[in-house]
Amino acid sequence: MISCLRKCCPQGLRSSRGFAVAAVLLAVALAGASGATCVSEADFDGNGAVDFDDFFLFADHFRTEPGGPGWDPALDLDGDLDVDFDDFLRFADDWGVCEGDGG
Ligand SMILES: [Ca+2]
Ligand SMILES: [Ca+2]
């Protein structure tokens, strides 16, 4: 990337200040790109990662059904109107595929 910046950037961006501006723009572009490609139904809290926070939410709602206490259709990953081991397997498939601010 640095070699590209040296070869491709306009003269104004070759200064240290210009390089800093380019680096910030690149970071924003990469953050936007990773957010756009990192979408998982298992990211229950929407922090951009499928992580322990999502696991704890899932565990809190495990073995729930519509009309019962704790039912949340967002955690029914296979859409068969319960939160069970089949949903856990789908959750596990997405574990760690996204990296966000949740670590
Ligand atoms: Ca999450
Ligand atoms: Ca289910």
Which numeric CATH code is attached to 40-103? Answer: 1.10.1330.10
Q: What is the pLDDT of residue 66?
A: 98
Q: Where are the domains of the chain?
A: 2-37, 40-103
The torsion region of residue 83 among left (phi > 0), alpha (psi -120 to 50) and beta comes to beta
Q: Say if residues 55 and 91 touch (Cβ distance below 8 Å).
A: yes
From the CA of 4, how far away is ligand 2's center (Å)? 48
- Number of Cβ atoms within 10 Å of the Cβ of 102: 16
Q: What is the pLDDT of residue 97?
A: 79
From the CA of 87, how far away is ligand 2's center (Å)? 5
Note down pLDDT in tens along the chain; length 103 residues. Answer: 444 444 444 554 455 655 554 544 454 444 444 444 568 999 999 999 999 999 999 999 999 999 999 999 999 999 999 999 999 999 999 998 777 654 4
Q: What is the pLDDT of residue 17?
A: 59
From the CA of 102, how far away is ligand 1's center (Å)? 7
